[in-house]
Amino acid sequence: MPDRKQSPFNWIDVVWLIFILALVLLPPIDEIHKQLILLAIGLFQVLEGRLVIWLPRAGATLSVLVKTALATILLYHTGDLAINSIYWPIYYLPAITAAMYFGPLATLGWASLSSLAYCSLLIPVMRYYGLSELTWKDNYSVLAIRIPFFFLIAILVNRFAVENRRQAAIQKTLSGTLEETNRQLRRAEAEARRSERLAALGQLSAGLAHEIRNPLGVIKGSAEMLAQKLQDAQPLAAELAGYISSEVNRLNALVARFLDFARPLRLELQPLQITEIVDRAAESVRAQMPDAHVTIERQYASGLPPVYVDERFCESVFSNLITNAYQAMDGRGMLRLSAARDSSNGSDGVLVTVEDTGPGISPEMREQIFNPFITSKKDGVGLGLSIVAKIVDEHRGWIRLDPNTERGARFTVFLPDGQPSAPQAVAVSPGVSQGTAKT
């Protein structure tokens, strides 16, 4: 539904103008100066909010000064003695305005300015009547009673204004906290749904893998025997039998990947330097792709604590990420590896970042990049990053694809440096992780 257009005036402005108009029409109605000044005060009050928005720093100060000046001019033009004008309460306006915009000390200062402006009305009286004609009873006593009311009203309004600002700040903080809690809840719900999907897919993969592996063994054995018997008599048939055997090998490799994804992990944790594992993984991938022209840039912080990891599984994590980076860059580009301490998520550990300069990952794939069977490769299965996320989860860490990269992809892996409270012989339901894979 489209938002309703906000009216330039609200109902309180209309009420204000009605009361100002009543003062204008009340006797004496033949004083044009009084009427014009009152109208100016009314219009300025209506436009004051816009002035403060246009001039955030100087708007409030300008509002108090203008109202003080208009109030002084109004009293000069009404009554024989300006100090005794019936419109003297108009000085409450600048005092109240200051109380709404400023703190207690500044409010007292502005109330003092209103008092001085009001006292300045004695100057023409003294010039006209002389100082000897002024008596305490007639003039000074009036000032002594009226001026304290400026301060009383200003402090009272300021007290409510300060409390209102404090409550608004509290509400803003609570709103921000609630918004962050809602975001965390949505992430938790998404992770719960993801874990449920992974559990179901893991159980399905395990069942299918076991059921498929046995007939594959029979097919492979039969194809090899057939190829041996037909090798001399029927070379074409022997060649076709060889194709059967090679495809069975490929299916066996795929089944092995399914089992890696589905079976529980049994981690042998020990304190290790994560940078050494990352370097070994990088050298291993470089050896597998000797024709690649990839420059590796390392940014490792000094004094990194050891992390409790399974060396074999952890090296598999970084080998997979680095291999994906090589393939994304088509064997040519810059690979950045960095490691630093981190405690931003409530636990101490090490952040490892793998960043490439490839084409990056499309927005539609980012939300499901760690889900199984999701891949952008023509010959890929889509289990590599799912297995990586599972391994990291069971190390009580997390992995995420950072969204703020101008080019390429940047994966961040967090591994805690604390020793687990119990021996880590992980045996969880297929596909269900203990940590959180941040996607």
Looking at 91-100, 231-240, 276-285, which range is the least confident one?
A: 231-240
Q: What is the pLDDT of residue 4?
A: 45
Give which of 336, 316, 308, 254 is closest to 422, Cα–Cα: 308
What's the mean per-residue pLDDT of the chain? 80
- Is residue 52 over pLDDT 50? yes
Q: List, in order, residues 6 or more apart from 410 with CB less than 8 Å away.
A: 353, 354, 355, 356, 401, 402
- Is residue 3 over pLDDT 70? no
Please report, for the chain, the start and end positions of each structural domain, with discontinuous segments joined by +.
Answer: 11-134, 192-262, 270-416
> What residue ranges in 310-409 does DSSP mark as E strands?
332-342, 349-356, 398-401
For residues 227 and 171, is the Cβ–Cβ distance under 8 A? Answer: no
User: Matching CATH topology for 192-262 and 270-416?
Assistant: no
412-428 average pLDDT score = 64
Give the separation between CA 437 and CA 341, rounded to whole angstroms. 19
324-347 average pLDDT score = 86
> How distant is the alpha carbon of residue 361 from its chain centre?
22
**195 vs 114, residue with greater confidence:** 114
Q: What is the pLDDT of residue 79?
A: 67
Running DSSP on this structure, what letter comes out for residue 438?
B
111-134 average pLDDT score = 74
pTM above 0.75, yes or no: no
Q: What is the pLDDT of residue 355?
A: 93
Q: What is the pLDDT of residue 2?
A: 43
- Is residue 257 over pLDDT 70? no
- Is residue 423 over pLDDT 50? no
Give the separation between CA 73 and CA 94, rounded to whole angstroms. 13
Q: What is the pLDDT of residue 67?
A: 92
Give which of 376, 382, 378, 374 is closest to 361, Cα–Cα: 376
The one-letter amino acid at 100: M
Give the separation between CA 279 and CA 418, rounded to whole angstroms. 22
Tens digit of each residue's pLDDT (9 = 90 or more) over 149-174: 889 999 999 999 999 989 999 999 99
Under CATH, to which class is 270-416 assigned? Answer: alpha beta
- Is residue 196 over pLDDT 90? no
Tens digit of each residue's pLDDT (9 = 90 or more) over 108-120: 999 999 888 888 8
Q: What is the pLDDT of residue 260?
A: 65
**CATH architecture, domain 192-262:** Orthogonal Bundle (1.10)
**pLDDT grade for 376, boundaries at 50, 70 and 90:** low
Say what percent of the chain tops pLDDT 70. Answer: 77
